[in-house]
Structure 1
Amino acid sequence: MDLKSSNMVTGGFCGVMSHSAPESYHNTATDSVSAHFNPPSKDPECEMGPLTTRLNQFRMKGIGCDVLFLVGDEQERSLAHKLVLGCSSTVFNAMFYGGLSQRAQIRNSRQNENSLRAPENNKCTHDQNEAAQTPQKCQTKPQISCMNGGRQFGDIEDERKNGTNIMEETTPTAHKMVADQTTSEVSKSVINNTPLCPAQFGLPDDVEVIRVPDCSPTAFSIMIGYMYSDVKSVVLNDDNVMHTLYAAKKYDIHSLVSECVRYLLNGLSACNAVCLLAQARLFEENTLLQQCFEMIDKNSDIALQAGSVTDIDRDTLIEVLGRSQLDPSSELVIFHAAQAWAEAECERRQIAPTVDNLRVCLGPALQLIRFPLMNVNEFGQAASSSLLNCEEIAEVFLHLTVKPRPYCRYPSGFRCFSRSKHSINRFNSLSSKRCSRRENKICFTADRDLLISAIGIYGMAPVSKIAYVDDKPPVEWSCQVEIQLASVIDPSTYGSSVCHSATNNLFLHGIVGDPTPILAYFEEPVQCSAHTTYVASVRFISETGVQTFQGKDGQDSITVDLPYDEQVTFTFKSYKNAYGNDDGNKTEGQIPSLHFLVPWPENPESH
């Protein structure tokens, strides 16, 4: 078409619009053009958002959904789109589009039916082939699904033989146990030929109905919503996180599993570490497992309180009690934890908490308590519980009191990474004077390798009421304290340079007027070599002055008895600054005690 003809067509079209069109049509066209450049305000529900948001709106309204889940014992209904689920989960993908899909089930079902039609008297192959080629009518599609991810039970056995079991690849052992229990219940409906029909729920025939009896409705809803949010948004709390983790593990949604584990790690504490450890073992979450163990090891006294261990399973209890990394203040803590768990287990089994029943409930866990690590007084408390028989009591008592130590059936290896715990007290008595120095130091040397774990610090002493505006002096005190341990390069030189080994800042608090030393721990025990001089220092970080208790009659050297008839000797010196001034802290002052660990071979028999 040339330029002239093009102009003719354009002019003709314009002419028709200007001369032939009715006025109403002309106004309508004008209005549409105006609307194009000035669009009216839109309904918020009609605004274009992310695709997943629009799909989720369709799901909430039931538009285009092709699968219905009946979740939990309540059989709460949840509609969804197979496409969204299948592209977010390998398990859903296998259920809807793989070998576990509904079509594959129908095909396998027909093949099984045809194979059962073989004549008993072995008729000719022609009749069998003809029967196999005859289409079978199916009034209702097999739509039973449950823990096994939508599979028929014949399919499960085939997959096990072929090594293609999806759930075996993605589900922990504990989940398979739940799956077996669930399968036995749902299989009754399969045997009785009572498949779920979409018409029962007012849905089209192409909607697949799936039972999910083992998931919490809330957790399942969270999981579905997470997939529709493009795996970016999830709202978890203490009540639903474990159920959500189970659902995420079952359907192999790794990012949701990570979100659940991250939530649990953020809420991990010494009080709930043992309980979370049991869940981490159940779900085979190694990251959570390791963090729980570390929390329990560092805070054993709190983690093993009676209220923290009573609800776990026995395998988890055995896992905890057998750890050499535990750091309890006494083996009596371990004993009380085992006793509390056994009493709770008797209550769960609805049996009387007699000695025999307690021992039966504990089983092999009783053999993990290291009675030889107790002193005589501690063992007396354990023996009074009657959990041990007379023979065991006599055996442990002889082991604690007789030298050389006779055989004992209970383990005697040290906890805390095979390290014994000890302490020394420098002062013989408490001084009537008060210490007002912000910083206090003491030099010490040991004659064997060891690890310093904590420094003892005197707390605040009461002051006269004249120092307060009101008549009520404070009852409690709190203060930021810096503790430090450093090695002295040349002890013979005043103010010799030091090599800092460890420093820790922490807040201490206590009762005003209580002279009992408070322990300030380093983050990790500090290695100290034999015959090397170290400086231990304490500095109070406070805007106001300090007035603490102090000890007197400090000792020059102290010898501590160790296991296996060994000893360690500490010698003390006052710290001298560059001017040669002695702070006098050796005989009177702060830092009344040092707490230390001595490493031993893991095999006690080597001694």
Structure 2
Amino acid sequence: MLEEEEEVAGAAPRSGARAAVEPGVGAGRAPGSGLGQAAPSPLCNWQAAQCSVRERFAFLFNNELLSDVHFAVGKGPGAQRLPAHRFVLAVGSAVFDAMFNGGMATSSAEVELPDVEPAAFLALLRFLYSDEVQIGPETVMTTLYTAKKYAVPALEAHCVEFLTKHLRADNAFMLLTQARLFDEPQLANLCLDTIDRNITDAITAEGFTDVDLDTLCAVLERDTLSIREIRLFAGVVRWAEAECQRQRLPPTPRNKQKVLGKAVGLVRFPLMTIEEFAAGPAQSGILSDREVVNLFLHFTLNPKPRVEYIDRPRSCLRGKECSINRFQQVECRWGYSGTSDKIRFSVTRRVSIIGFGLYGSIHGPTDYQVNVQIIENDNATIGQNDTGFCCDGSANTFRVMFKEPVEILPNIVYTACATLKGPDSHYGTKGLRKVLYESPSTGINTSFVFFNVLGNNNGTSVEDGQIPEIIFYT
């Protein structure tokens, strides 16, 4: 939620709050005259106590003195009747100018505004009379609406500035909805940037499930979300459950699919691992049986059959690409028989791994088929890709990339896995147990520590084997 109330005050003294209770109090006027009582006599010379034009107009804010129009603002028990001055309003707003002076001008002494909140209208009047901005978390959106309704762009700008200052991950979706509703592209872009960087926190915030479907889709379309697709899908399901409740529908898989509509097609299921897909979307009932089968075929077959879902990675990376090589020497002849090469590792700082560098053929230019994976705690596959690469017969490494960045947290042991189909290749020797990467721009060190994998791993170890290179972003 937004934080405490904030004021942006002009040079005029704070008279608005008092004037609402004791309008017209000033030098030469007996205190205690209430709203609706007779205006004081000119003999009171209230003007002499106000030292500038600004102060004199600020004195007239919410004051019966000299008022020539009243507004019945709001509806129900909270409605208020507020005095105003046609000239002041017309000077500050083209809408009021047309209302009082245009060809369709009203001559009525009272104008009804049932769609405007009294607190927001008072904020608008205060600004028109004194340039004083008084907005808070509870009134900023209604004040923005009122400023737009009466074409007061300076007050609009103050509202947007207030919202921007208080923008956080936990209210970014709520503010994005409002920014789209009020056509505030600058605020909307700031909200989207915040969501990109903090999407995990944003979709778990209370206000996320309250957004409308178009806003949800506007976020799901983005290539810049920094989140694993399976976590994004979980947030989408949570939104669908809330929408079913709003529409008074049982939260069945069929109804969730119905309320999500086009949003389902914006989830990038091909970016998930087959394990993530099988444990989540495949059992959710949100996808049809045909869609589930097609996606399983996409995960398991090569070449991959076409699916209707986007398989483009979300470009959520920031920073410079880095890599480390764990071997000091390259030798010849490493064979493959369907067994995976594996090496365990941990890091000292959070990184995002985007791929491996692998050795290629000793027999000249060759194509390889390869499955690469990163496994956490020996059981959960958190990144994978079935792909291929071409090598030129040299002892260089060749890039094999994941579908999306794989977040690697410090002091957790992961397993890097590569299953190659192809002829004998080069391999690395004189391996290092610890490889230090020092960023040339920041000087910050990131250490990779390697461990042997127990069991059948095609011979790869800390000392020898495949998977020489890890490509990552810090």
The two structures share one fold, judged by TM-score above 0.5: yes
SS of aligned partner of 1:69: strand
Say whether 1:408 aligns with 2:408: no
Say whether 1:255 aligns with 2:257: no
**1:226–1:234 contact (8 Å) kept in structure 2:** yes
Give the 4+ runs in structure 1 shifted more than 4 A.
42-46, 421-431, 445-448, 537-541, 552-560
**Shift in Å at residue 306 of structure 1?**
5.8
Q: 1:536 aligns with which of 396, 421, 439?
A: 439
**Shift in Å at residue 416 of structure 1?**
1.6
**Shift in Å at residue 447 of structure 1?**
9.2
What does residue range 490-505 of structure 1 map to in structure 2 within 5 Å?
Answer: none
Corresponding residue for 1:353?
Answer: 251
Corresponding residue for 2:272?
Answer: 374
Q: Summarize the Cα distance change of 1:596–1:63 in structure 2 as closer, same or farther, 3 Å threshold.
A: same
CA distance in 2, matches of 1:69, 1:295: 40
Kindly indicate which of the two structures has a greater share of residues assigned to helix.
1
**Shift in Å at residue 57 of structure 1?**
2.5
Q: TM-score, normalised by structure 1?
A: 0.48
Say whether 1:321 aligns with 2:208: no
**1:557–1:570 contact (8 Å) kept in structure 2:** no
CA distance in 1, matches of 2:151, 2:267: 39
Say whether 1:515 aligns with 2:426: no
The count of residues paired between Structure 1 and Structure 2 equals 323
**1:59–1:65 contact (8 Å) kept in structure 2:** no
CA distance in 2, matches of 1:327, 1:50: 54
Q: Summarize the Cα distance change of 1:223–1:365 in structure 2 as closer, same or farther, 3 Å threshold.
A: same
**2:256–2:286 contact (8 Å) kept in structure 1:** yes
Corresponding residue for 2:94?
Answer: 90
Unmatched 5+ stretches in structure 1: 1-41, 104-142, 144-207, 436-444, 449-509, 518-533, 542-547, 561-568, 572-593, 598-607
**Shift in Å at residue 515 of structure 1?**
3.2
Q: 1:99 aligns with which of 99, 103, 113?
A: 103
**1:429–1:551 contact (8 Å) kept in structure 2:** yes
Which region of structure 1 is more displaced relative to structure 2, 249-258 or 296-305?
296-305
**Shift in Å at residue 540 of structure 1?**
7.7
Q: Summarize the Cα distance change of 1:558–1:215 in structure 2 as closer, same or farther, 3 Å threshold.
A: farther
CA distance in 1, matches of 2:125, 2:163: 20
Q: 2:233 aligns with which of 326, 335, 341?
A: 335
Corresponding residue for 2:201?
Answer: 302
Corresponding residue for 2:333?
Answer: none
SS of aligned partner of 2:81: strand
CA distance in 1, matches of 2:287, 2:89: 57
CA distance in 1, matches of 2:194, 2:97: 39
**2:269–2:310 contact (8 Å) kept in structure 1:** yes
Corresponding residue for 1:293?
Answer: 192
- Per-residue CA distance 1:473-498 (angstroms, 9 max, x = gap): xxxxxxxxxxxxxxxxxxxxxxxxxx
CA distance in 2, matches of 1:98, 1:365: 47
CA distance in 2, matches of 1:423, 1:272: 37
**Shift in Å at residue 356 of structure 1?**
1.4
Q: TM-score, normalised by structure 2?
A: 0.60
Kindly indicate which of the two structures has a greater share of residues assigned to strand.
2
**Shift in Å at residue 366 of structure 1?**
0.9
**1:372–1:399 contact (8 Å) kept in structure 2:** yes
Unmatched 5+ stretches in structure 2: 1-43, 327-342, 349-355, 360-408, 414-436, 452-460
Q: Summarize the Cα distance change of 1:557–1:71 in structure 2 as closer, same or farther, 3 Å threshold.
A: farther
CA distance in 2, matches of 1:100, 1:558: 85
Report the AA paired with residue 412 of structure 2.
Answer: T
**Shift in Å at residue 337 of structure 1?**
1.8
CA distance in 1, matches of 2:62, 2:438: 69
**1:324–1:418 contact (8 Å) kept in structure 2:** no
**Shift in Å at residue 236 of structure 1?**
1.5
Report the AA paired with residue 287 of structure 1.
Answer: Q
- Per-residue CA distance 1:183-209 (angstroms, 9 max, x = gap): xxxxxxxxxxxxxxxxxxxxxxxxx21
Report the AA paired with residue 116 of structure 2.
Answer: C
**Shift in Å at residue 71 of structure 1?**
0.8
Q: Summarize the Cα distance change of 1:277–1:61 in structure 2 as closer, same or farther, 3 Å threshold.
A: closer
Say whether 1:211 aligns with 2:215: no
**Shift in Å at residue 46 of structure 1?**
5.4
Say whether 1:363 aligns with 2:241: no
**1:305–1:337 contact (8 Å) kept in structure 2:** yes
CA distance in 1, matches of 2:187, 2:122: 24
Corresponding residue for 2:288?
Answer: 389
Q: Summarize the Cα distance change of 1:556–1:323 in structure 2 as closer, same or farther, 3 Å threshold.
A: farther
Q: Summarize the Cα distance change of 1:92–1:424 in structure 2 as closer, same or farther, 3 Å threshold.
A: farther
What does residue range 167-246 of structure 1 map to in structure 2 within 5 Å?
Answer: 208-229=109-130, 231=131, 233-246=132-145
CA distance in 1, matches of 2:56, 2:74: 27
Report the AA paired with residue 114 of structure 2.
Answer: P
**1:304–1:333 contact (8 Å) kept in structure 2:** no
CA distance in 1, matches of 2:200, 2:466: 28
Q: Summarize the Cα distance change of 1:100–1:417 in structure 2 as closer, same or farther, 3 Å threshold.
A: farther
**1:515–1:549 contact (8 Å) kept in structure 2:** no
Q: Summarize the Cα distance change of 1:446–1:402 in structure 2 as closer, same or farther, 3 Å threshold.
A: closer
Report the AA paired with residue 596 of structure 1.
Answer: Y
